[in-house]
Amino acid sequence: VAVVSGVRIAVSASGVNRADLLQLAGDYRPPPGESAVPGLECAGTVQEDAGGAWAGGAPVAALLGSGGYGTIVEADPGLILDASGMDPLQAAALPEALGTAWWNLVGLADAQPGETVLVTGANSGVGHIAVQVAVELGLRPIAAVRGTRWDEELRALGAEHVVDVTSSDAGQALSRTAPEGVDIALDLVGAAVSGLVMPALRTDARWLVVGLLGGTSVELDLRDVIRRRLRIAGSSLRSLPAPTRRRIVAAIAEGLWPAARAGRIVARIDGAYDVGRQQEAHEHLARGGVLGKIVLTHGMEEQR
Ligand SMILES: NC(=O)c1ccc[n+]([C@@H]2O[C@H](COP(=O)([O-])OP(=O)(O)OC[C@H]3O[C@@H](n4cnc5c(N)ncnc54)[C@H](OP(=O)(O)O)[C@@H]3O)[C@@H](O)[C@H]2O)c1
Residue 144 and residue 137: Cα distance in Å, rounded? 19
Categorize the per-residue pLDDT at 35 as very low, low, confident or very high, splitting at 50, 70 and 90. Answer: confident
Exposure string over 149-184, b if 16+ CB within 10 A, otherwise e: ebbebbeebbbbbbbbbeeeebeebbeebbeebbbb
DSSP 8-state code for residue 77: G
Protein residue with least CA distance to atom 21, ligand 1: 124
Residue 200 and residue 24: Cα distance in Å, rounded? 36
**The pLDDT of residue 303:** 47
Residue 157 and residue 132 in contact, taking contact as beta carbons nearer than 8 Å: yes
Which atom belonging to ligand 1 lies closest to the Cα atom of 96?
6
Residue 66 has pLDDT above 70, yes or no: yes
Protein residue with least CA distance to atom 39, ligand 1: 289
Q: Check pocket membership of 237 for ligand 1, CB cut-off 6 A.
A: yes
In angstroms, what is the C-alpha Rg of the chain?
19
What is the tens place of the pLDDT at every residue in 41-51?
A: 999 999 999 99
Residue 46 and residue 52 in contact, taking contact as beta carbons nearer than 8 Å: no
With the CA atoms of 292, 296, 300 and 303 taken in that order, what torsion angle do they form, in degrees rounded to the nearest 10?
40
Residue 46 and residue 219: Cα distance in Å, rounded? 49
The helices-and-strands tally (H runs, E runs) of the chain is 11, 13
Residue 72 and residue 53 in contact, taking contact as beta carbons nearer than 8 Å: no
**AA identity, residue 71:** T
The stretch 6-16 carries a mean pLDDT of 97
Residue 10 and residue 42 in contact, taking contact as beta carbons nearer than 8 Å: no
Residue 39 and residue 53: Cα distance in Å, rounded? 24
The stretch 186-192 carries a mean pLDDT of 98
SS3 72: strand
**The pLDDT of residue 301:** 57
The stretch 223-235 carries a mean pLDDT of 98
Distance between Cα 45 and ligand 1 center (Å):
30
Q: Check pocket membership of 210 for ligand 1, CB cut-off 6 A.
A: yes
The rounded percent of the chain whose pLDDT value lies above 70 is 97
**The pLDDT of residue 5:** 73
Q: Check pocket membership of 37 for ligand 1, CB cut-off 6 A.
A: no
Beta-sheet strands, E only, within the chain = 7-16, 41-49, 59-63, 72-75, 80-82, 116-120, 140-145, 161-164, 182-187, 201-209, 231-234, 269-274, 293-297
Residue 264 and residue 136 in contact, taking contact as beta carbons nearer than 8 Å: yes
Which atom belonging to ligand 1 lies closest to the Cα atom of 127?
16
